[in-house]
Amino acid sequence: SDPAMLSAPIARPMARHAHSCLPRASWLLRGPPSAGASPCVAALRVRTASTRAAPPGATSASTAAIIELTSAKEFESLVMAASQKQPPVGGPVLLDFYADWCAPCKQLTPKLERLVSESQGALRLAKVNVDRLPELSQALQVASLPTVMLVHKGKLVDSFQGVLPDAQLKAFVDKAVELAGGPAGAEKALQMATAAMEEGEVAEATRRFSELLALPEHAATATAGLALCALKDDNLALAQDLVADLHKRFPGDVNKPEVRKAISKVALAADGTGAGKSIDELRAVLGEGPAQHSIRFELAQALVAHEQVEEAVGELLHILKKDRSWNDGAAKNLLLQIFESLGNSHELTKKGRRKLANIVLA
């Protein structure tokens, strides 16, 4: 069916707002007029040089994949400014103009929400209720509902009215995703941050993880990444503070694999501190009495602290071969903690678990 038939005209008049600070749709396309622009329009295009610290959760509204504009003032920060940032913190923005009384809108909006969610952070959907924000829809010359506009880098690049067929709607959203550089922007950003950390570029990794804190769905993983950066920087106290923050602010995310790995690594680092002897000293003492499980266990902790994890696993497996229940299973518990810090896909975890199973089943 013709998309134009699946739309509703805005029949009732909306009050004019003589002092509106909102640019018209043509200004989004070409920029403001060279002369005669009001001070309000100029003010809209000014970017604040500094940001004010926000309370916990305050950033969620501006970085969530789907938002509802609650005031005309939010248009500048949540649409114009956000569209000029790179994903996943910013990116192209779809403006969805709707009304509660508009039946076609109720068909379109859920489809838009699904497609935007599937983009995995590549773009945002900003919903605008024309009855609650008449000055915004009027400034952007919205004449019928639903109307959808695509804003990229502060400019209107495409739009449509009515309810498009599913294939055409997906093509429209795919165009927005392409402008963002493809789907899964947040996942790519996390991978880049992790790669930087593993390559020893702690400052760069810290910067990248810090940017991702603004995304509610990735804040826990980003915090875990910052804890690992702190460990790389030999700042155990900060790493422990960040782990405490994880438990306090993201209790539902602490069992995510990447978060769990970070928590375990910080715990292992804390357990390995305060040892009275060096690795060489512990090995020398161990040579005098191989059955001294406590010395071997202390050696394993020291090895972990110095990132000699494979050697630590070997020492713990040696203890378990001699005495599986030694010290209330301390060797097994530490071994499992090491596996958790490495992740299930790590080759050392796979080999270690097989050896552990053989010992237990022997």
Name the residues annotated as catalytic.
102, 105
Question: Any bridge partners for residue 127, and if so which?
Answer: 68, 96
Contact 42, 32 (CB under 8 A): yes
The DSSP letter of residue 32 is S
Among residues 88, 106, 87, the alpha carbon closest in space to that of 96 is found at 106
Cβ-in-10-Å burial (0-12, 13-18, 19+) of 32 comes to middle
Count of Cβ atoms closer than 10 Å to residue 28 Cβ: 21
Pairing between β-strand 124-129 and β-strand 66-68 as defined by DSSP bridges:
parallel
> What is the rounded CA–CA span in Å between residue 136 and residue 95?
11
DSSP 248-277: HH-GGGTTSHHHHHHHHHHHHHHHTTT-SS
> What is the rounded CA–CA span in Å between residue 317 and residue 298?
14
Residue with tokens 């497609």: 115
The DSSP letter of residue 46 is P
Pairing between β-strand 124-129 and β-strand 93-98 as defined by DSSP bridges:
parallel
